[in-house]
Amino acid sequence: MKKRVTGLGGFFFKCQDPDRVKKWYKTHLGIPTDAYGWTFRWKDAQGNDCSTQWSPFKEDTTYFNPSSKPFMMNFRVENLEELLQVLKKEGVQVIGEMESYDYGKFGWILDPEGNKIELWEPIDAAFQE
């Protein structure tokens, strides 16, 4: 397996009032937020269309469990199924089962300090307008 992480897929964080936070970022930083936050659109080194997600979550979300941290990183990966098998063999704690959607596959792991990391094999074409 050559590549593992290919880029930052997203940054998710907990806050008291996600709508207020999104409005603040829109007003003061010009970020064009929507219901989920902001999807940054960009091209990779080969010119492929890609995206990275920035999203505030309600502070009582359970989506970051079992981590107690107020944030979760999402990394873009290639061949998630193979990567999860390799990580298990390397002793990395895999959380739950892989999930597939029309915009990609997702898997979760914990780092040595208990930070939950979401691994995403994207289908970037699903984000094109």
pLDDT attached to residue 39? 92
- 70 vs 60: CA distance, rounded Å: 10
* Burial class (CB within 10 angstroms; exposed 0-12, middle 13-18, buried 19+) of 32: exposed
Cα 19 from chain centroid (whole Å): 19
pLDDT attached to residue 84? 97
Residue 30 tokens read as: 């010009």
pLDDT in tens, the chain (129 residues): 677 898 899 999 999 999 999 999 999 999 999 999 999 998 888 888 888 999 999 999 999 999 999 999 999 999 999 999 999 999 999 999 999 999 999 999 999 999 999 999 998 665 554
- 60 vs 2: CA distance, rounded Å: 38
Domains annotated for the chain, with CATH where assigned, are 5-127 (3.10.180.10)
pLDDT attached to residue 47? 87
Segments in the chain forming alpha helices (H):
18-29, 80-89
- 27 vs 6: CA distance, rounded Å: 32
pLDDT attached to residue 74? 97
